[in-house]
Amino acid sequence: MSTELSIGYLTGSAKVTRNYLFTDDIIWRNPRTTRQMFFQPYESKKEFIYCARHTFQPMAILGLAILNPYVLVIVPIIMGGLSAVFAALGGISKLYGNESAASFYLDTADFLIKDLCQAIIDLVVLPVSAVAMLTRGIATGVQAVGITGKHTAPKEEFPPFEALSPSNA
């Protein structure tokens, strides 16, 4: 995931500079319009991987929940419990003056909570992100083939709008 909670993969407010296995390096920018969210071709393979990860991970969670419904309860409890343990260890380390251990434990607790919250956000917006991924994938394929939606006809084919009005008849 990312270091921040977001739906930047959906709104286009995140420009991906590098992909890792579970995270990405991103640069924040202005979000896309609604039309661009669904129909703008992918800028790069990195952006596609970023969007696909946030679409397919929630699908995997849903598939796992169908196979074993207890996963929806057990995994958040385990992640929350581990986060609490790491936060407590970080607090204890800070009290004893061990700043490096405190930083490690508190960062780990923060990472676990953010991943859990991002997974919940991804599950909530899964239908929208799946449709966006489908339509943007089609737009990318259409662009790669060379078919574009910006077909302009010669001007002499169509009469001016004023010529079509009933007062000119």
Nearest Cα to 15, choosing from 28, 1, 5, 33?
28
Given a contact cutoff of 8 angstroms between Cβ atoms, the answer to whether 18 and 12 are in contact is no
Instruction: State the Rg of the chain over Cα.
Output: 24
Q: Rounded mean pLDDT of 19-23?
A: 83
- Greater pLDDT, 142 or 21: 142
Nearest Cα to 11, choosing from 121, 146, 113?
121
Structure token pair of residue 151: 């077909």
Distance from C-alpha of 87 to C-alpha of 103, rounded to nearest angstrom: 10
Give the pLDDT of residue 108: 95
In this prediction the pTM is 0.76
**Cα-to-chain-centroid distance, residue 31:** 12
Percent of the chain with pLDDT over 70: 86
Residue 78: CB atoms within 10 Å: 12
What b/e readout covers 100-137, taking b as 16+ CB neighbours within 10 angstroms? eebeebbebbeebbbbbebbebbbebbeebeebbeebe
Average pLDDT, the chain: 86
Give the pLDDT of residue 80: 94
Tell me the pLDDT tens digit for each residue of 47-90.
Answer: 999 999 999 999 999 999 999 999 889 999 999 999 999 999 99
Distance from C-alpha of 131 to C-alpha of 121, rounded to nearest angstrom: 16
